[in-house]
Structure 1
Amino acid sequence: MRLSHTLTLTAMLAASTLVAPLALADAEDFPAKDVQYVIPFGPGGESDISARLQQKYFEEITGQQLIIQYMPGGGGAVGWSQLNDMTADGHTIMGSNLPHIVLKPMGKDAGFATEDVNNFYFFHYSPDAILVREDSPYQTLEDLVEAARQAPGVVTFSGSGTYSANDVANTRFQQLADVTTTYIPFKGTGAAVTALLGGQVQAEWGYTTVAANHQDKVRMLAVAAEERHPLFPDVPTFQELGYDMVGGAYRGMAVPSETPEEVQARLSEIFDQINQNPQFRQEMEDLGFVLMDVGNDDVADFLAEQSQQYETSARELGLID
């Protein structure tokens, strides 16, 4: 999306505050119209995929549509920096990702602080994984590690942005494996996958979801989970291979900070209902997602715990001073 398009989208979303009340008389009547779901990445990534699966169930529950829009840039920073300028009546929500919203403000000129992203629900995560094309000469993780040792910096990885789960995973793995690779950040997982499939890079720091969505095109060498993923029983964990890596990307939703508490609670309730739907759960699991249910009342504690871990990791890994 060009900058002009991003600015136009922002203006449209913000302008709607002129015709929409900032509070609802009764949160039970929410939503009173379609809800704009802004994905702060390009199309094709995990945030986009899960949002599209949620659309059907959102309409079944509320009678209103979940309208997906994109505001990519800065690995999510463009969207999150503008979140609090948008309509604060609950009819505009935005995708929220960990560790992105914690690590990015630690860098330079992120445009937002972690506390600016007013989360109301976290609903899934996807474990980190190293992926290569199906025709890649790297049949195992050790094949790739050996290539990186023989030619430091030559092995290239795509990933979804800087100060993201992919960036953290790449940095940590370089330390654990004592190798040097070249990490190339892209505007979301969809673009990172395209770079891998198009031969722009030799490998990708992606997730189990990427492998599930491109099973005939990519090969997963290792997964950063405590146990092997049920969709990929033949793929070893990093721990099995001697690398102490467990982690991934958590995804949820946020609203502008002035959104009424009762509306935030109602949004949390709606998406929790979606998460509990057996058909939705099966669809998500078939795509490689791992579902979780962190509702509005538990978000603060969850974020505090995760933030402490990410900040510690970031300092240890040299991503921040």
Structure 2
Amino acid sequence: MKLRHWVTAAMVAATMSGSAALAYPDGPVNYIIPFNAGGESDVTARYQQPYFKELTGQDMIVQYMPGAGGAQAWSGLNGYNGDGLTIMGTNLPHIILQPMLQDPGYATEDITNIYMFHFTPDALLVRKDSPYQTVQDVIDAATQNPGLVTAGGSGTNSANHVANQRFMNETGAVTTYIPYSGTGATESGLLGGEVDMLWGYTTVAARQADGVRMLAVATEERHPLFPDVPTFKELGIDMVGGAYRGIAVPSSTPEETRKQLSDIIGQINANPEFRKRMENDGYALIDVPYEEMSDFMAERKAAYEEVTGQLKAQN
């Protein structure tokens, strides 16, 4: 799938107006993160806070509701008042794969996403001292010795797990996926030699610059922070994706409020300072506003359906 929504220089020209006086919101906005503090969902919410305040004059208060891989929060989203003063972070593939593979207490259609603002691109990483210099080296090793090449990733049925399965489907390589409890644990696993390679993200490569080598990245175009790293598509492997993040509201939220909030997040995304900070951390900005969300979600659902049966068989 081609990501039509990568933020371009033309989009950045639509920068935010700090003096905007909006009818919405008329009070502080509670931003619920369905994970623990310190993760990438939290980091990006903190980055958004000052720009939200500058645009609206209201505080964005970040709160945490971890549990069940985000399902605890998402299953309760529609119980909140739809006045626009409670919003919630959402993640893909979580909100699509969870209902496909189990009963998390909600359906994908229950989640009213109003904006997808970035994704953390999948990246294939090895240690700096790894014998694998290229993606083809990995393919050759995992084809000649099926299952002997180990690939770390964050959890089962995650973006990392999806990436590993798609890689095998696309190349014919056979790896053994090793799930870890979180991104931090995967980094330690790779650097400590527990796995041969890691399905991580560009953010991991940014943090571990001296210890890892990124072999390829799952973006349409090369990431500006890693101009020398090829995309999988350049290598003939049809892989574009990662962990997507956005914002949702309770289903009772009026259409006008949904559109106003979508516009605010879009203006934050277009701010050059915000954009630079995100890219320096390894994120890739995208713009999927409320009006385009249905098509975007349908595309992502179709992409995940290709591997759902295979992932379920591994559970």
* TM-score normalised by structure 2 residue count: 0.80
Q: Which amino acid aligns with 1:32?
A: G
- Corresponding residue for 2:310? 318
Q: Following superposition, which runs of at least 4 residues in structure 1 exceed 6 angstroms of deviation? A: none
Contact 2:118 2:285 in 1 (8 A): yes
Q: Distance in 2 between matches of 1:70 and 1:112?
A: 19
Deviation at 1:268, TM superposition (A): 1.4
> Is residue 2:267 matched to residue 1:273?
yes
Counterpart mapping for 1:1-321 below 5 A: 28-33=23-28, 35-149=29-143, 151-197=145-191, 199-311=193-305, 313-314=306-307, 318-319=310-311
Say which SS state the counterpart of residue 69 (structure 1) adopts: strand
Q: CA deviation at 1:171?
A: 0.5
Change (3 A) 1:201 1:88: farther
Q: Distance in 2 between matches of 1:192 and 1:78?
A: 24
- Contact between 2:165 and 2:307, CA under 8 Å: does it hold in 1? no
In the alignment, structure 1 segments of 5+ residues that lack a partner are 1-26
Contact 2:45/2:62, CA 8 A, preserved across alignment = yes
Contact 1:239 1:245 in 2 (8 A): yes
**Residues 223, 284 of structure 2: 8 Å contact kept:** no
> Cα 1:43–1:221, aligned 2, differ >3 Å: closer, same or farther?
farther
Give the secondary-structure state (helix, strand or coil) at the position aligned to 1:32: coil
Q: How big is the shift at 1:131?
A: 1.5
Give the Å deviation of 1:244: 2.8
In 2, Cα distance between equivalents of 1:106 and 1:211: 30
Contact 1:133/1:203 (8 A) holds in 2: yes
**Residue identity matched to 2:270:** Q
Asked if 2 retains the 8 angstrom alpha-carbon contact of 1:124 and 1:290, the reply is: yes
Q: How many residues align?
A: 292
Conserved 8 A contact 2:162-2:304: no
The alpha carbon displacement at 1:280 in A equals 0.9
Q: Which has the larger displacement, 266-275 or 37-46?
A: 37-46
Aligned-pair Cα RMSD in Å: 2.7
Return the offset for 1:289.
2.2
1:155 positional shift: 3.2
Conserved? CA contact 2:154–2:160, under 8 Å: yes
Question: Offset at 1:279?
Answer: 1.0
Distance 1:277 1:150, change over 3 A: same
Q: CA separation in 1, counterparts of 2:223 and 2:303?
A: 23
Partner amino acid for 1:184? I
| Conserved? CA contact 1:158–1:183, under 8 Å | yes
2: CA distance, partners of 1:176 / 1:237: 14
Alignment partner of 1:249: what SS? strand
TM-score, length basis structure 1: 0.79
Shift of 1:135: 4.0
Deviation of the 1:82 alpha carbon: 2.5
Q: CA deviation at 1:190?
A: 4.3
Give me the whole-angstrom Cα distance separating, in 2, the residues matched to 1:44 and 1:194: 17
Please tell me whether the aligned partners of residues 91 and 246 of structure 2 are also in contact (alpha carbons under 8 angstroms): yes
In 2: Cα distance, 1:298 partner to 1:176 partner: 29
- What is the letter of the counterpart of residue 27 of structure 2? A
User: Shift of the alpha carbon at 1:133?
Assistant: 3.1
Aligned counterparts of 2:88 and 2:215: Cα–Cα separation in 1: 32
SS state at 1:157 partner: strand
Q: How far is the alpha carbon of 1:146 from its aligned partner?
A: 4.1
Identity %: 60
Helix, strand or coil: the match of 2:122?
A: strand
| Letter of the structure 1 residue corresponding to residue 55 of structure 2 | I
Q: Encode CA deviations 1:22-64: one digit per residue, 9 max, x unaligned.
A: xxxxx8141412x222222344443233212111211222233
Contact 1:264 1:296 in 2 (8 A): yes
Give 1:271's aligned amino acid: I
